[in-house]
A and B are shown apart, each in its own frame.
Chain A
């Protein structure tokens, strides 16, 4: 089946590993990921400015395009995109003023017919028809762990992985409504479903400092260190993330971390979809492991996982 998929800018530029491994993994589940045509940047952050309406036009346009293409669900693997799209979707359903203004902005977009190249204007109002789901959510609720388990080709033998939720996935809780924000289970359940052991450690939702990467890099270094250290102390072999910005910060920053905190030997950072793909039998070369700053290859050697007799 075809499923609409919003990759977001970072997946296409900086962290293509997430994009590739996602596609490959979903193929193994008989799902073809389709990007909405002409998708744009979502804005990366739900508007924090005084002007709270204009910033929603871009994400709503993306969702409207999904609707135009006949989709009623769009999945994303970037927590930032997920937050923006989902909250924009809610805003347009709940606030009549936002609904009116954003649809007014978008109504006069030009539609070009793919075949006839005919240009038309005037889209119908977007009313929140498309549901926004993070891939983790999609796998939990729409695919179901039993189905994933039945397709596993490799037994990961309880590889201890520390799930890192990051900041965007679960909050604000009443809008995101994905899981219990203070004691979530969705990522742990996913890891268990693909054959890993989910490591419990106290920093799984603590800030990694990526926001301060430019303005106060020392703070970002220390914050990342604390997260990574906690995962290591609890015997994790790697830390798994759901968001390219988490990845970018926790992975690329480890060099700075090692320079500041000399006792820290490093910890590989993985995307959750890399684990999913690997467990579903995807070839190691298609996991995008070359992009990692901290080498993660060792976790994906053949001897680490046994073939599963189906």
Chain B
């Protein structure tokens, strides 16, 4: 690395723009050009009515060539508008684009001041500072880095599956990692989906099959991401393969093992409403189609083994000696589609979710409604299997609560509650469905019509008010609420209560995110780069977000977001190589003492200590050029390219000295 450049005799050109009367109406542009004609370093100075116009640009190009200029200042409008324009013009003239300086004498001068004389004085100061900077600007080349055109998708729910399919259909390889024994996420647990009342499993399973058959998708179920290193375009991922104890290639789903297994475990797929064995298949359409041995609940694998399942396996697919192993994958982009969980009913003690079996959450009700669920699709209540004649649905359970629970709206509950109430009425026509709501939010396509159907056709009773308490009296659940529209307290006797619990960040996500080092918002959902304009990217380059991991949303939105994330990944992969702004902060080895302060200060982990040479090293691709390390460096070894301390001092001198 070289020492900071000394000011050489550069030939700087100054072009002061009138911008019609926008600048010239207040600032005496001719005076500015005239005054600075003889400033040290300025070889050429002129003014023109519209620098951004074609003739204006041509003038710049011609002048650079004729006068052999090493750098130019365009004193005009804000750089946010035409910096690229003039950089392009300079490039055409053979000048390095980083030798262009834009002096803002419009938005920050002529447009905000009325005193022409003082505005002109200020313009001169501003231009002088840019001349000083230009005299020390170096030629810079954008940093180029290769991109590994393979993607990692974390999560095998609808969002992960959609993103994987889209990326793979683009022609790139995808590694899809899912921690559960099968893909399908939460959507596979649903009975019907709003607003069409499509059978959820019927629309999801074809996608699941497509993923499993896709030649470019490597499906890794029962795997978890262990660690990630590297940077955008060049990630190295370590993935842990959990031992299934069943060889999925050999298992033929005969089910004999399940029959003989003596261990009974609450079935998580059915939300604990039924039981499974320790060796099990989560649901019939599971992909991959194989049994899995749940070691945690198995009677024992070592040293004493029950062994019953292995004895009856014809295919010899069961192997108790399987061990955890690790795989390394290299990818260029990572899509995080890790989904959500439901807020725990324990937090709402007053609703009795933990106390009473018949107070359930939305996913439990989905399993009850499901034809493949624990009750075969007949609506029965969990405690005694009775068909409930009165069901109360409580919206906003744990959502929209700024005092104790989650302040945000979980978005889907109004729609799925209407769906639940409708489906209940379809199956128990003489039953009473009552919904307690604060608002009914039905913003999607055909959503409001769906809700009106519930009210008008299926005669679901909607009461506007919150529920304060739910308790059992004899055989019934008493629900206390309010009817705010009549101003009265309401007491409903129910056989069963369904709570629309808030959608919260997925359990165990924080551990994963620490490994990924991507940021979350205040509620634990993944933070998007910009709330309005960049909804599927993370601020951490190379990471993309899809689905409920980024925030509560319904299936159509999740699919849209997944495809959007896939498109962004496509953007990344379409580039031959990644171009990174070179205005980063390199390390001057000669001055660096290896104190490590810059390393601690960098928000992008771009700097590290070279143990052999005892100096800091910077990964220029990760460095975003914020300059925090430059300010923190005690020896001046960290200097930002084209905004070094020397440049800053020169600029200050020029601007402030009379």
Direct contact of A and B (CB under 8 A): yes
CA distance A183 to B345 in the complex (A): 13
Contacts of B471 in A (CB 8 A): 202
Contacts of B349 in A (CB 8 A): 180, 182-183
- B430 CB within 8 Å of chain A: no
Contacts of B350 in A (CB 8 A): 182-183
Interface residues of A, Cβ cutoff 8 Å to B: 180, 182-183, 202, 233
Closest to A206 in B: B469
CA distance A183 to B349 in the complex (A): 6
CA distance A202 to B352 in the complex (A): 10
Closest chain-B Cβ to A144's Cβ sits at a distance in Å of: 26
Closest chain-A Cβ to B354's Cβ sits at a distance in Å of: 10
Closest chain-B Cβ to A12's Cβ sits at a distance in Å of: 36
Q: 7 tightest A-B contacts by CB? A: A202-B471, A183-B349, A182-B350, A182-B349, A202-B469, A183-B350, A202-B478
6 pairs, CB–CB < 8 Å, chain A vs chain B = A180-B349, A182-B350, A183-B349, A183-B350, A202-B469, A233-B473
Closest to A202 in B: B471
Closest to B351 in A: A182
CA distance A182 to B349 in the complex (A): 7
Besides the known contacts A182-B349, A202-B469, A202-B478, 8 further A-B residue pairs in the complex with CB atoms under 8 A apart:
A180-B349, A182-B350, A183-B349, A183-B350, A202-B471, A202-B472, A202-B473, A233-B473
CA distance A180 to B469 in the complex (A): 15
CA distance A183 to B104 in the complex (A): 63
Closest chain-B Cβ to A223's Cβ sits at a distance in Å of: 12
Contacts of A233 in B (CB 8 A): 473
Contacts of A183 in B (CB 8 A): 349-350
Contacts of B478 in A (CB 8 A): 202
Closest to B474 in A: A233
Contacts of B469 in A (CB 8 A): 202
Closest to A230 in B: B473
Within 8 A of A (CB), among B457-493: 469, 471-473, 478
Contacts of A180 in B (CB 8 A): 349
Closest chain-A Cβ to B392's Cβ sits at a distance in Å of: 16
CA distance A183 to B469 in the complex (A): 11
Closest chain-B Cβ to A112's Cβ sits at a distance in Å of: 48
CA distance A11 to B478 in the complex (A): 37
In which size bucket is the chain B interface? under 10
Interface residues of B, Cβ cutoff 8 Å to A: 349-350, 469, 471-473, 478
Contacts of B473 in A (CB 8 A): 202, 233
Closest chain-A Cβ to B481's Cβ sits at a distance in Å of: 14
Closest chain-A Cβ to B559's Cβ sits at a distance in Å of: 39
Closest chain-A Cβ to B454's Cβ sits at a distance in Å of: 30
Closest chain-A Cβ to B325's Cβ sits at a distance in Å of: 46
CA distance A183 to B471 in the complex (A): 13
Closest chain-A Cβ to B421's Cβ sits at a distance in Å of: 25
CA distance A182 to B472 in the complex (A): 16
Closest chain-A Cβ to B404's Cβ sits at a distance in Å of: 9
Closest chain-B Cβ to A204's Cβ sits at a distance in Å of: 10
Closest chain-B Cβ to A203's Cβ sits at a distance in Å of: 9
CA distance A257 to B601 in the complex (A): 72
Closest chain-B Cβ to A265's Cβ sits at a distance in Å of: 19
Closest to A174 in B: B403
Closest to A180 in B: B349
Closest chain-A Cβ to B134's Cβ sits at a distance in Å of: 56
CA distance A258 to B93 in the complex (A): 102
Contacts of A182 in B (CB 8 A): 349-350
CA distance A233 to B472 in the complex (A): 11
Closest chain-A Cβ to B352's Cβ sits at a distance in Å of: 9
Closest to A201 in B: B471
CA distance A180 to B348 in the complex (A): 12
CA distance A202 to B480 in the complex (A): 11
Closest to A200 in B: B355
Closest to B470 in A: A202
CA distance A202 to B473 in the complex (A): 9
Closest chain-B Cβ to A200's Cβ sits at a distance in Å of: 9
Closest chain-A Cβ to B648's Cβ sits at a distance in Å of: 45
CA distance A183 to B348 in the complex (A): 9
Closest chain-A Cβ to B358's Cβ sits at a distance in Å of: 15
CA distance A57 to B349 in the complex (A): 38
CA distance A182 to B473 in the complex (A): 19
Contacts of B472 in A (CB 8 A): 202
CA distance A182 to B354 in the complex (A): 14
Closest to B346 in A: A183
CA distance A182 to B478 in the complex (A): 17
Closest chain-A Cβ to B489's Cβ sits at a distance in Å of: 11
Contacts of A202 in B (CB 8 A): 469, 471-473, 478
CA distance A116 to B472 in the complex (A): 65
Closest chain-B Cβ to A44's Cβ sits at a distance in Å of: 26
CA distance A180 to B347 in the complex (A): 11
Closest chain-B Cβ to A164's Cβ sits at a distance in Å of: 15
Closest chain-A Cβ to B634's Cβ sits at a distance in Å of: 43
CA distance A180 to B350 in the complex (A): 11
Closest chain-B Cβ to A135's Cβ sits at a distance in Å of: 25
Closest to A183 in B: B349
Closest chain-A Cβ to B402's Cβ sits at a distance in Å of: 13
CA distance A183 to B352 in the complex (A): 10
CA distance A188 to B350 in the complex (A): 16
CA distance A180 to B349 in the complex (A): 10
CA distance A233 to B473 in the complex (A): 9
Closest chain-B Cβ to A96's Cβ sits at a distance in Å of: 26
CA distance A233 to B476 in the complex (A): 14
Among B471, B472, B478: residue with most chain A CB under 10 A:
B471
Closest to B350 in A: A182
Closest chain-A Cβ to B343's Cβ sits at a distance in Å of: 15
Closest chain-A Cβ to B499's Cβ sits at a distance in Å of: 15
CA distance A180 to B478 in the complex (A): 22
CA distance A53 to B183 in the complex (A): 63
Closest chain-A Cβ to B136's Cβ sits at a distance in Å of: 55
Closest chain-B Cβ to A216's Cβ sits at a distance in Å of: 15
Closest to B354 in A: A183
CA distance A217 to B107 in the complex (A): 73
CA distance A166 to B349 in the complex (A): 18
Closest chain-A Cβ to B266's Cβ sits at a distance in Å of: 24
Closest chain-A Cβ to B588's Cβ sits at a distance in Å of: 54
Closest to A184 in B: B349
Closest chain-A Cβ to B412's Cβ sits at a distance in Å of: 26
Closest chain-A Cβ to B399's Cβ sits at a distance in Å of: 17
Closest chain-B Cβ to A170's Cβ sits at a distance in Å of: 13
Closest to A182 in B: B350
Closest chain-A Cβ to B606's Cβ sits at a distance in Å of: 44
CA distance A195 to B472 in the complex (A): 26
CA distance A183 to B350 in the complex (A): 7
CA distance A233 to B478 in the complex (A): 14
CA distance A239 to B478 in the complex (A): 22
CA distance A55 to B469 in the complex (A): 34
CA distance A291 to B350 in the complex (A): 35
Closest chain-B Cβ to A104's Cβ sits at a distance in Å of: 35
Closest chain-B Cβ to A201's Cβ sits at a distance in Å of: 8
CA distance A182 to B404 in the complex (A): 11
Closest chain-B Cβ to A86's Cβ sits at a distance in Å of: 20
CA distance A182 to B471 in the complex (A): 13
CA distance A233 to B350 in the complex (A): 19
